[in-house]
A and B are shown apart, each in its own frame.
Chain A
Amino acid sequence: MADRIAVIGSFAELRALVSAVEAFRREAIGIATVYSPFQSSEIREALGEPALGPGRFFTLAGGVTGILTGVFLAWYTAAQWRFIVGGKYPIPYVPTVIPAFEFFILLSIIFTLGGMLFLNRMPKKRLPKYYDGRFSQDRFGLVVYCADSDWGKISRMMTDLGAQEVLKVEE
């Protein structure tokens, strides 16, 4: 018999899932993960998660790198040509804005995507053990870890809170 088991509740309605999450948190029962077919601010709020993830720091890093790259390319190419014309700056700074802006956007986006993939550990070859194909379609999943002895209590709680199916998976 396993020490720890995972209980997976499958919900058809978002409202039921949100109440279940809130109830489990009130009872201080640790929620392993929640699956949803779409992004939901209700689930996030019920879990007490912040609106923005750490991905924004990747965006910032990309933006800074992009601006520096654009400025460097514009200055370096202008300096290399050595077009010395009376009354004009050898390296004019106004047109630097365009390459700096474009590289800022480009690298910010690439870093943002890279950050999202890194934080989600994607690409992944295998789907998570507790994942059910219906979670991308019309079902919400709630995964809770507990001791085997608590299985009865947890599964009853899930059913009472509106879960249509409750499964037990041994770790």
Chain B
Amino acid sequence: MEGNAQTQDFSGYAGVDRQIVGAMWNPGRFYWVCVAVAGLGVLVGAVSWAWQIGVGLGVANITHPPMWGTYLINFVFWVGIAHSGTLISAILFLFRASWRTTISRASEAMTIFAVMIAGLFPLIHLGRVWVVYWILPYPNERNLWPNFQSPLVFDVIAISTYLTVSFLFWYTGMIPDLAAIRDRSTGLKNRIYGLLSLGWAGSEKSWKHYGTAYLFFAALATPLVISVHSVVSWDFALGITPGWHSTIFAPYFVAGAIHSGLAMVLLLLIPMRKIFHFENLLTLRVLEQIAKTIILTGLIVGYSYAVEHFLAWYSGDAAENDQFLFRMTGYYSWAFWFMIIGNAVVPIVLFFKRVRTCIPALFAVALIVQAGMWFERLVIIVGSQAHEYDPYSWGIYKYPSLIEWGIMIGSFSLFFFLFLLFAKFLPTISMTEVKEAIAHGESSGGGLHG
């Protein structure tokens, strides 16, 4: 087995630090090429947004009735991506799934960056971004508060709670590793990591309090993961638009979010293990476990698609029936069929071990799932708005303008750019957890991937 054999290469606990910290200090030339490409993309996004602010929201191809276009698609897409990080960290921690050890830190970072990018889209779509404070929950000039019983306020609270909790979970988990880096470095690095590690010394009392806190973090973050995308789904489900007004939305959105998040974890980890030479840590077995979870989420998503269509037919509601017929045969039918094939059919190939253990195939499946999930949001958000009750008000959002493309490219580039910066300055793999797994392996014969 690749995983079990190669974990022996560490030559003790110091070897773990040497490999992970070494990868941070000397990431190699290919890393800098990736940084440059992502940086260029960020620049494209920034210029596009600046252009939109200067000229006005008219530069985007959005018009009545699908008034949000790609901006809301991207918002929901990035919130969805944010899901698997905390899922891997918290839920798998509670289930004591050892394969999470080497991927939890990178997945948590993915969560934080994805939520930050998701948070940009309401601002981008706002047009006049300088009046952003108007949408914050605080009393208006007539001293009235926004209603805390509205799904939109739920959304603000849920997403900001998720960002705060994910960040604190990520940072707290990193404190012992930051102390290890502090103790390996000198000069300015020593001072910066010393400051970030908050004076951590790793006494048994510190570990006890840390362990208690981490356990509660995981236990509290788990229901939060489920709640956040449920709340996002209620932004839609509490409206009366055909295609949105459905009780299946919360579990359907949560499953979809985890599906896309897991695919993004693969898209990040596969290049990362190559760039940083982490093949002995991010083993094929770890990738295979993620692939198996994608099979599960893919089946749930496929089942949700079937149930959604069954409910539309069974309800006998003419508008609802027409909406789902429009999805299958209307203007966005190509996106609909891509969504079905990409999200529910393609992941089935992962049942074959040969596909699960072939890295290019895994990468390709993850890419298809990612595109499929983006199209799912297009079908749900834009498709439903384009074909509501009154035929007089039907309308099509044809394609994104150059500015919308620029902003979309910018958002993806910013995500990868932030991730690359994270990989350069912070440990992408939890050193303490790997050491713990090695120690556990010594005593029980299990270990990192046991």
Contacts from A to B (Cβ < 8 Å): 12, 14-15, 33-40, 42-44, 47, 49, 51-53, 55-56, 59, 70, 73-74, 76-78, 80-81, 92, 95-96, 98-99, 101-103, 105-106, 108-110, 112-113, 115-117, 119-120, 122-128, 131, 133-138
CA distance in complex: A115, B344 (Å): 44
- Chain B: CB-nearest residue to A111: B216
Check B149–A92 contact: CB distance below 8 A: yes
Quick one: given A39-B436, A123-B198, are A109 and B168 in contact (CB under 8 Å)?
yes
Contact residues in B for A133 (Cβ distance below 8 Å): 183-184
Quick one: given A14-B439, A136-B183, are A105 and B165 in contact (CB under 8 Å)?
yes
- 11 CB-based A-B contacts, threshold 8 Å: A37-B202, A38-B13, A59-B220, A81-B145, A99-B157, A101-B227, A106-B164, A109-B168, A109-B216, A123-B198, A134-B183
Q: Give B204-233 interface residues, CB cut-off 8 Å to A.
A: 204-213, 215-217, 220-221, 223-224, 227, 231
Contact residues in B for A81 (Cβ distance below 8 Å): 144-145, 147
Check B231–A56 contact: CB distance below 8 A: no
B158 within 8 A of A: yes
Q: A39 touches which one: B158, B165, B207, B231 (CB < 8 A)?
A: B207
B161 within 8 A of A: yes
- The segment out of B70-78, B123-131, B172-180, B297-305 that lies at the interface is B172-180
**Which of B153, B206, B227 counts the most chain A CB atoms within 10 A?**
B206
Majority-rule SS of B interface residues: helix
Seed contacts A42-B443, A56-B216, A99-B153; 15 additional CB < 8 Å A-B pairs = A12-B12, A36-B202, A37-B435, A38-B433, A39-B207, A39-B436, A49-B204, A55-B216, A76-B145, A77-B147, A95-B149, A98-B154, A101-B227, A102-B227, A105-B227
Taking the nearest CB of chain B, how far is it from the CB of A9, in angstroms? 14
Contact residues in B for A115 (Cβ distance below 8 Å): 209, 213
List the 3 closest pairs (A to B, CB-CB), nearest first. Answer: A124-B199, A133-B183, A138-B13
Contact residues in A for B210 (Cβ distance below 8 Å): 39, 116, 120
Contact residues in B for A123 (Cβ distance below 8 Å): 198-199
B442 within 8 A of A: yes
Taking the nearest CB of chain A, how far is it from the CB of B238, in angstroms? 10
B146 within 8 A of A: yes
Check B176–A138 contact: CB distance below 8 A: no
CA distance in complex: A32, B208 (Å): 15
Check A80–B144 contact: CB distance below 8 A: yes
B203 within 8 A of A: yes
B148 within 8 A of A: yes
Quick one: given A81-B144, A112-B217, are A120 and B184 in contact (CB under 8 Å)?
no
Contact residues in B for A137 (Cβ distance below 8 Å): 13-14, 17, 180, 183-184
Check B165–A15 contact: CB distance below 8 A: no
CA distance in complex: A135, B221 (Å): 30
B432 within 8 A of A: yes
Q: A127 touches which one: B180, B199, B433 (CB < 8 A)?
A: B199
CA distance in complex: A53, B201 (Å): 17
Contact residues in B for A59 (Cβ distance below 8 Å): 216, 220
